[in-house]
Amino acid sequence: MNIDEMERRAGEFRCKLIDLKRTLGSQPFEWYRYDSLANLAHIGQLLTGANRDLNLAKPVLDIGCADGELAFFL
């Protein structure tokens, strides 16, 4: 999958997560306030040429995953 396509899909996933969190209502904790999925845009700026095509058939490790949004997306 190309990083551009991944960013587009992440935007769709972000909307689903926001809706899901709303349906859960008030929680005894605060959701992570930063947009973890926005990191894909930063990664996209670093990747060039053939490196823009990502092989997601391999395991992915999300370190410092906050609410795990990026891990759930991948």
C-alpha distances in angstroms, 26 versus 21, 22, 68?
A: 9, 8, 19
The whole-number pLDDT of residue 61 equals 78
Number of domains in the chain: 1
* pLDDT digits 0-9 by tens, 4-56: 999 999 999 999 999 999 999 999 999 999 999 999 999 999 999 998 998 77
The whole-number pLDDT of residue 38 equals 93
Tokens in use for 4?
């551009």
* Whether the predicted model's global pTM rises above the 0.85 cut: no
The whole-number pLDDT of residue 64 equals 79
The whole-number pLDDT of residue 4 equals 94
Whole-angstrom distance, CA of residue 28 vs CA of residue 67? 14
The whole-number pLDDT of residue 32 equals 92
**Residue numbers of the domain that contains 26:** 3-73
